[in-house]
Structure 1
């Protein structure tokens, strides 16, 4: 019987009761623990039960986050001091364990997802993986004016490229890694100045299941468009509203927006100015069960987010068999292919809405194409994006960097 692979994983936060990267990496680790012997080094959970209870199939070593770090939530979110805190104690624990004869086949810094943090694993003789890394997408120059000015701490991200070129700890972290994972191929370009042995794209999102196939009623000259996402400029809602302005001759095409934020008021005014306010409804933030209902009742999911590292809502739409219209950039450009949706080029606030309108016209005129794209999306999730399948893929990557003998 072949011995199970042994991996030590560093993740500042893993929690099934959290959101975002803490939740998605938890789901991956949870499935991985069924396939390999995992040692998890992390901060103790603050939102859910102890991590050891949430991951009973893994060896869990947690470190308590100091109260003063939890007290200053804004500072904690901006500068992530807890990352350095957990790294310090994880390094001590790892040194002590290795001195006692413990061994692992592979190490994996699975979080943080931002690419600006070095890893303690560069200090040890264990083959290691970093990632999946994401973020770091700049605002396209053509859209910068409409996106407003970035906050001072957001502008600090502009230092990343300088650090990639000159920071010895960061460069050695990437240079010594056997494998660097990115949430989409664009991350290889972001990290182009960093020495790397090997880069692979690995989407750090997945699904537990998909919905049953839906037979949507085809109503001639009618199309229900759906946009779901936080109402900020980068999510592309304004571009979809402007696209509706190019479809005034198609009174049966409607748009529903779900998500709250400062962009809602701007888009409402835009719809009024374009004379399409009667065909666009802004529902704001809704409970999950209501959002699912709108996925079921819609015909096409339109999500031209132009600074999106992944795009979990795309998976939500694909679960319901919705064809997708998105932008060929970042995570959406990687997730959606010609089998599952239509992609427009990332151009400018004038041309992109026209291109979106053309894509909408194409799907309105071809119900068979809508059904084909939607079903291909469901199948893509079934064959590639279930969490258990993602875990199997990660195990193969672990095996590919494990030293022989």
Structure 2
């Protein structure tokens, strides 16, 4: 059996006490550190739990994230304002490390968006990039309703241009020994660059599946739908509410909504206008424990986000054995199939709501199908989402990377 590999990991945005990208990067490094010797280059935010404490099995080299970027939190979340400074700092750290140490592979885990060059491109060490996601366009017929989004979110339209013409980004991709992407659309975006070294792998994972409360469908007084997500138009909550208004005859339906944002009040008013406010509970921003409780109580997960690069909540819902109603677009369109749920084509708002309503009606009227899809959800997450299996796959990718000719690094062997 091969000995542990020496891995140089880069993840400027990583924090197990945070959510989203930072939390996903933390899980990758945490799980990888149980199987290899990991040196991590990262940024840390003042006041947060130290990464050396969060990741006791990892050698952490970090720099502080500048305080000024925290004043523009939403912009910073998308544009990664501190990344240029981190890039040059990391490049210097790698140069110093390689004077006395060797690494079998480098891997830059974050940022997940495909718009940031990697400092690893300047060195001969073989390296992996990703999992990449994001840069999806808003479907044409939904753009008008998305105009209220923050101005800077529209800059993602430049991503494809940069992939084609940015020399720093192109050099990073060209020099990578392997590129990970969350869904086939990433490979399409990367074009010829990724043809021979692209691997499908979500940035998400679960340690185990969970049990939810179930009872005989005939004994239940309600059928509970669940939507979990940030309150923005693209997450599809408005479309679920419109779908409910088309199901007035199904008195058993109730929708639980977890999350908050600029879209929340719009959806609240829409529910009143459409006469379904008494069938919806807006829980707002709630704790992890409360969200888990909603998963336990739900009968199905309705999350028709129409610009979702991957979807952490999709993985969470699958781990609870929930049938999924999702958009046939982006990450969910790749993950969900007819063994575990319904994929709804993103057409126009009216037809989209009608198709969502049809899927909900099918689940309510066919309890045996609901049970079958629940089993399929568990099977799906066990196949693609368990961390142990994901790390097995990643280590196999590492071990099959070919070193550049004449390089002084020694590949791990049996």
Q: Same fold (TM over 0.5)?
A: yes
Is the 8 Å Cα contact of residues 18 and 47 (structure 1) preserved in structure 2?
no
1:165–1:12 distance in 2 versus 1, CA, 3 Å: same
Is the 8 Å Cα contact of residues 308 and 330 (structure 1) preserved in structure 2?
yes
SS at match of 1:191: helix
Alpha-carbon offset, residue 115 of structure 1: 0.7
Aligned 1:143-162 pairs, distance under 5 A: 143-162=142-161
Aligned 1:228-307 pairs, distance under 5 A: 228-307=228-307
Is the 8 Å Cα contact of residues 187 and 194 (structure 2) preserved in structure 1?
no
Runs of 4+ in 1 over 6 A off after TM superposition: none
Aligned to 1:125: 124
Deviation per CA, 1:64-90, whole angstroms, max 9, x where unpaired? 445555566566445424222222122
Is the 8 Å Cα contact of residues 235 and 303 (structure 2) preserved in structure 1?
yes
Q: Distance in 1 between matches of 2:160 and 2:192?
A: 8
1:68–1:254 distance in 2 versus 1, CA, 3 Å: closer
Aligned to 1:185: 184
Aligned to 2:352: 352
Q: Distance in 2 between matches of 1:89 and 1:108?
A: 16
Q: Distance in 2 between matches of 1:155 and 1:299?
A: 36
Aligned to 2:95: 95
Q: Distance in 2 between matches of 1:253 and 1:375?
A: 22
Is the 8 Å Cα contact of residues 109 and 129 (structure 2) preserved in structure 1?
yes
Q: Distance in 1 between matches of 2:118 and 2:306?
A: 30
SS at match of 2:143: helix
Alpha-carbon offset, residue 355 of structure 1: 0.8
Aligned to 2:84: 84
Deviates more, 1:267-276 or 1:323-332: 267-276
Q: Distance in 2 between matches of 1:328 and 1:73?
A: 30
Alpha-carbon offset, residue 9 of structure 1: 1.0
Aligned 1:384-399 pairs, distance under 5 A: 384-399=384-399
Deviation per CA, 1:155-193, whole angstroms, max 9, x where unpaired? 322222221111111111111211111122221222237
Alpha-carbon offset, residue 358 of structure 1: 1.2
1:18–1:279 distance in 2 versus 1, CA, 3 Å: closer
Deviation per CA, 1:366-395, whole angstroms, max 9, x where unpaired? 111111211221233334323233222221
TM-score (norm 2): 0.90
1:170–1:25 distance in 2 versus 1, CA, 3 Å: same
Q: Distance in 2 between matches of 1:228 and 1:222?
A: 19
1:72–1:238 distance in 2 versus 1, CA, 3 Å: closer
Q: Distance in 1 between matches of 2:222 and 2:73?
A: 47
Alpha-carbon offset, residue 196 of structure 1: 5.5
Aligned 1:360-375 pairs, distance under 5 A: 360-375=360-375
Aligned to 2:115: 116
What count of residue pairs does the alignment treat as equivalent?
404
TM-score (norm 1): 0.91
Q: Distance in 1 between matches of 2:47 and 2:345?
A: 40
Q: Distance in 1 between matches of 2:72 and 2:296?
A: 41
Aligned to 2:5: 5
Q: Are 1:104 and 2:100 an aligned pair? A: no
Deviation per CA, 1:127-173, whole angstroms, max 9, x where unpaired? 11111111111111100111125443223222222211111111111
* Unaligned segments of structure 2, at least 5 residues: 404-410
Q: Distance in 2 between matches of 1:363 and 1:343?
A: 13
Aligned to 2:408: none
* Unaligned segments of structure 1, at least 5 residues: none
Alpha-carbon offset, residue 213 of structure 1: 5.6
